[in-house]
Structure 1
Amino acid sequence: MSRTLWRGARLASMADGTPWGWIERGALLAEGDRIGWIGAEAALPAGLQVGAEHDLGGALVTPGLIDAHTHLVYGGDRAAEFELRLQGASYEEIARAGGGIRATVAATRSASDEALFESAAARARALMREGVTTLEVKSGYGLSETHEARCLAAARRLGRELALTVRTTSLGAHALPPEFEGRRSAYVDAVCAWLEGQQRAGLADAVDAYCDTIGFTPAETGRVLARAVALGLPVKLHAEQLS
């Protein structure tokens, strides 16, 4: 088993006794893919034999970070809306004019599976460079049974192909897609119907819904979350983001 020693670190060990288990000049011994020892550099065991040793020069070392709310899987971008925001248009005004979530839904539906994965992987790698090791990824930009499943499958693939722990969240109740205009209740029924298949396919770890003026009412949201609970899926909520 390989042993690597990292010296000269400012360590947040999370041990009891001090805030964050802070060690000003710390050392960490890696044994294979596990931490074999952590503590003050002055307290290193005598006669320690290692295969490699590195001086971190005072760099900060923390446990892996968790990003518990992301929307990594989507097509296109909203750069064109930035100027509208600068001119004073609100997020709600842009959304009601067909921008925002709906614009991203159109771009996501037209993107290939590989394009969705590669763009999401680039975003995930950027988070990894900042120390993230565990990631929640929501769907919500497909808004049909097929396209929501594609987004969740891309998120699952991130966990298989990158050095990340990934948890997926089904967010079909993110916005009303254009093909359901005027048929809100039918769309909520559709979202509820998708959940069992997503769970059976191993695509969804949890369920979220967007309860707001441009999303869904409390009653509509409640129907989605009640179905999730009935299936044994944990629930989350986007609530009063704008209202």
Structure 2
Amino acid sequence: MANLPLHGTLSDEQLEVQEEAGVLVQNDKIERVDSYQTLLAEAKRQGYSLQEIEQPMVLMPGLIDAHTHICFAGSRARDYSLRVSGKSYLEIARSGGGILDTVRKTRQATREELVQLLKKRALRHLSEGVTTCEVKSGYGLTVADELKMLQVIQEADNELPLDLIPTCLAAHMCPPEFGSSHEYLNYLLQELLPVVREQQLAQRIDIFIEETAFSEAEALAYLQKAQAMGFAVTVHADQFSTGGSKVAAEVKACSADHLEASGVPEIELMAEAGVVGVVLPGASVGLGMHYAPARKMLDGGICVAIASDWNPGSAPMGDLLVQAALLGAAEKLTIAETLAGITFRAAHALRLTDRGTLATGQLADMIAFPAETYQEILYHQGKLKPTIIWKEGKRVL
């Protein structure tokens, strides 16, 4: 994946595939990728330890999930039953279900309970090849509860072999304790974000722009103030209606995520601003709605990442590889475009430059599939999982 462009379309012919290859790892980074026999001789001379794999396998960079909500308590199975009975996501939210239902359960959970729940989900992700996972807060919606969530993410990150990248999504929606969205966002800017910055609990800020959450004008002012405080920003954009991508382009956000409602004007705005489009097929599957227009986005020159959106409401499946394979089949993405979307392009959405490819100087985050060719990985539509996983050069599965 090392020599592919960040933006736009990719053909499978552009993929660099090395046959009978080896990887030389020094400490936690890749020192060299070359033919196995060449590296074997060098390793023996220098006294390196060897991990030899004799069966045919395909090695690729560890997967990167750039958008999840896996720090939460409770279940939203009732919401799902209502949804498949015909109720819309917005109708369920208005009737007391949706995000606020998870907020109530997450507030009631202890920090220790949330740590164990998060670790369980993160370890499942790791077992399926995800070596870097973004995790959002946003089910607290008070200063104390949002800080609790971010501290839980930090604690789990310190205890797990995979990397958890925290994002403060306190602007998920306006909680019932506040009379207006404007009042709540000011509360976050004055009371929460300075503490998040001081305690180094997150470097990234997110906001949900939608009818049941925050308006474009509110989001724009909030994001600009967060940027002035030194935060990187991303946006939940264009899930049910357009407008969020325009805000993302105006503030030159790292990414605009969801984008199911985006059309040509929105794609052009994002492409011009260099905003990564993070598409979330898990939400489309969970809500029974169309996918984001990934094919049009790639054709329009956007860097497209694919993430799971693993959350208790709209995307409870959480299997990144399955979702990427389904999206690729539906949107007619090449294998190269799909794999790029869950490796180095996902790293770019998180502004991580040290992972996502197998190249000198990169973290030795690697996964090996029991397959003869790389096409097998997506051909099985996510059912073929990696059987060997390395995180920073250490074998963890």
TM-score in terms of structure 1 length: 0.86
Supply the AA of the counterpart residue of 2:168.
S
Q: 1:53 to 1:184 in 2, by over 3 A?
A: closer
In structure 2, the partner of 1:188 is: 185
**Displacement of 1:203:** 1.0
CA deviation string 1:49-90 (max 9, x = no partner): 254442252222112222111111111111111111110111
In structure 2, the partner of 1:29 is: 24
**Displacement of 1:204:** 1.7
Separation in structure 1 between the aligned mates of residue 20 and residue 41 of structure 2, nearest angstrom: 17
Match status 1:133 vs 2:131: yes
Query: Do the aligned partners of 1:205 and 1:233 also contact (CA within 8 Å) in 2?
Result: yes
More strand by share: 1
In structure 1, the partner of 2:122 is: 124
Q: 1:48 to 1:177 in 2, by over 3 A?
A: closer
In structure 2, the partner of 1:179 is: 177
Separation in structure 2 between the aligned mates of residue 185 and residue 51 of structure 1, nearest angstrom: 59
- Return the match for 2:233 from 229, 232, 235: 235
Gaps of 5+ in 2: 5-12, 242-397
In structure 2, the partner of 1:107 is: 105
- Return the match for 2:164 from 163, 166, 186: 166
The residue matched to 2:20 in structure 1 has which SS?
strand
Supply the AA of the counterpart residue of 1:217.
S
Match status 1:63 vs 2:61: yes
In structure 1, the partner of 2:89 is: 91
- Of structures 1 and 2, the one with the larger relative CO (CA 8 A, separation 6+) is 2
The residue matched to 1:213 in structure 2 has which SS?
coil
**Displacement of 1:32:** 4.6
Q: 1:57 to 1:171 in 2, by over 3 A?
A: same
Query: Do the aligned partners of 1:191 and 1:224 also contact (CA within 8 Å) in 2?
Result: no
CA deviation string 1:204-223 (max 9, x = no partner): 21111000111100111122
**Displacement of 1:36:** 4.2
**Displacement of 1:175:** 1.0
Query: Do the aligned partners of 1:27 and 1:40 also contact (CA within 8 Å) in 2?
Result: yes
Query: Do the aligned partners of 2:66 and 2:134 also contact (CA within 8 Å) in 1?
Result: yes
Q: How many residues align?
A: 229
The residue matched to 2:177 in structure 1 has which SS?
helix
Return the index of the structure with the highest Cα Rg: 1
**Displacement of 1:42:** 4.6
- Return the match for 1:210 from 185, 208, 222: 208
Q: 1:183 to 1:21 in 2, by over 3 A?
A: same
Q: 1:132 to 1:56 in 2, by over 3 A?
A: farther
Alignment RMSD (CA, Å): 2.0
Q: 1:235 to 1:51 in 2, by over 3 A?
A: closer
Gaps of 5+ in 1: 1-11
Q: 1:45 to 1:75 in 2, by over 3 A?
A: closer
The residue matched to 1:54 in structure 2 has which SS?
coil
**Displacement of 1:48:** 4.5
Query: Do the aligned partners of 2:24 and 2:39 also contact (CA within 8 Å) in 1?
Result: no
The residue matched to 2:21 in structure 1 has which SS?
strand
Q: 1:23 to 1:202 in 2, by over 3 A?
A: same
Supply the AA of the counterpart residue of 1:85.
R
Query: Do the aligned partners of 1:173 and 1:224 also contact (CA within 8 Å) in 2?
Result: no
In structure 2, the partner of 1:149 is: 147
TM-score in terms of structure 2 length: 0.54
Query: Do the aligned partners of 2:23 and 2:39 also contact (CA within 8 Å) in 1?
Result: no
Supply the AA of the counterpart residue of 2:154.
R
Q: 1:36 to 1:184 in 2, by over 3 A?
A: closer
Separation in structure 1 between the aligned mates of residue 199 and residue 115 of structure 2, nearest angstrom: 18
Q: 1:206 to 1:33 in 2, by over 3 A?
A: closer
